[in-house]
Chain A
Amino acid sequence: MPESERQIRVLVAKPGLDGHDRGAKIIARALRDAGMEVVYTGLRQTPEMIAEAALQEDVAVVGLSILSGAHMALVPRVLDLLRANGLGDVKLFVGGIIPDDDVPALKALGVAGVFGPGASTEVIVKAVRESVRPA
């Protein structure tokens, strides 16, 4: 099957104790409008739940939305669990409230991209698509 006909499957997940998921829903909607199949799992997911959902749903991309400041604890945990599940090839994106200083560290861990509140959905959609289908 040609790449262009294959659906990109994405898991959008919210680890930790954030109280709302408006941003995550906007991203999910934007990815849907870009023709992707977006599995959305709701608030307060543990890293274990996220890695398990990524495995069962066989997604190519996981997007984490984190507003709480706990990203330096949560992101490495999710990455470890993804790798333990044999999902080392899954691309991980992080969005939310992430200080600029932490971005290089996250990327060094293996995060494919980090997006703050100002990022446009077009930029995010493009980054997600190109991470799966390098131009």
Chain B
Amino acid sequence: MSGPPNVGAAAVRAGDRRALARLLTLVENATPAAEAALAELYPYTGGAQLIGITGPPGSGKSSLVNELAKLLRRGTPARPPVTVAIVAVDPSSPFTGGAILGDRIRMRDLAGDPGVFIRSMASRGSLGGLARATADVVRVLDAAGYGAILIETVGAGQTEVDIARAAHTTVVVEAPGLGDDVQAIKAGLLEAADVLVVNKADQPGADSALKALRASLDLAHPIARRWAAAGGGHHRVTTVATEPEAAPDVWLVPLLPTIAIQGQGTEALLAAIDRHRAYLQTSGELARRERDRLAHELEARLRDYLLAALVDRLGQGALAAALDRVAARECDPGTAARALAAHLLPPA
């Protein structure tokens, strides 16, 4: 028989995997015990390299995460091996709340390695591509000492860009045959990319996908056009994108072909992720992004707490009465909200 699981922050810091798994559940469920542990662990965060992987369903995100994790564990001539945590988010059903979390299917290579910890999360109604608790789950894994954390979003299309706030480097994975060149210039996911990947680069349509994305990147970065014109072809997966000689304070999004299931192109991808990380550090962008992210989170949490506290003071009755009037078309939602707030706030 096992005793009551230890959910202490100290056990997590000491490398107790059972305690870590248990705490992640509490964090997902937003329990008071989790809040206390998060407060205790927060000073120990900030050490991990946070890598986000996003892209449409079926583009090969999980396979790419699997390959990147193997590479991170093995190390390359340019970087020492690190321990790896993976947070893989899959969608919850909006109808039943249930979810199939299937990302581990593509990560079986990682089984048996105590330096890898994989956690599947259901999105639980969140629409930004991550779950509401993902940032806190990542913090716990960070404080537990994992050197790199790979965050895989739900299959994302155009607006699920929360990942850009949660990760240091966001990799957007596309695959051949998913859209024309107008898709490539629409706003949203592609703009969130720090590194752009066309996976399944051995499949028909890979060249035209690369071309469309290249063209879209050139529009975004006129400075890159010279490079594209000079650099020449990007036809085969064996072609490694050449690096532009850019000023250190300008990041040109690299476009890389990969074949994740064969492990092709993943070393170049990790090198690009590391170059981006170095750019963030030397340009001061890392601190700026971090501050921006924390400001956003602080605001969101403040909003939640204030709303809960104010609704508490108003009483559910007043809220229900206001809702009745709005539903009866006697009062519009904006006016009703202002009237409710006026009860609570001192006159200006």
Contacts and interface: CB of A to CB of B under 8 A. Distances in A.
Interface residues of B, number: 33
A87 to B, nearest CB: 7
Contact of A38 (B22, B100, B111, B124): B100
A32 B98 contact: yes
Contacts of B329: none
Q: Which size class do A's interface residues fall under?
A: 20 to 34
A42 to B, nearest CB: 4
Contacts of B31: 1
A45 B98 CA distance: 24
Contacts of A17: none
A32 B93 contact: yes
A37 interface: yes
Given A49-B111, A56-B118, A57-B119, A9 B25 contact: yes
Contacts of A37: 92, 98-99, 101, 120, 122
Contact of A56 (B21, B100, B122): B21
B316 interface: no
B25 to A, nearest CB: 5
Contacts of A55: 17-18, 21
Main secondary structure of the interface of A (DSSP, over half): mixed
B21 A58 contact: yes
A79 interface: no
A33 B98 contact: yes
A99 interface: no
Contacts of B122: 7, 37
Interface string A1-12: 100001101000
A33 B98 CA distance: 6
Interface string A103-116: 00000000000000
B112 A49 contact: yes
A40 B1 CA distance: 26
A32 B99 contact: yes
Interface in A46-64: 46, 48-49, 52-53, 55-58
A1 B117 CA distance: 27
Nearest to B85: A56
A38 B21 contact: no
13 contacts: A33-B93, A33-B96, A36-B98, A38-B100, A38-B101, A39-B120, A41-B104, A41-B105, A49-B111, A58-B21, A86-B18, A88-B1, A89-B2
Interface of A: 1, 6-7, 9, 28-29, 31-42, 45-46, 48-49, 52-53, 55-58, 83, 85-89
Top 4 A-B pairs ranked by shortest CB distance?
Answer: A32-B98, A42-B105, A58-B21, A49-B111
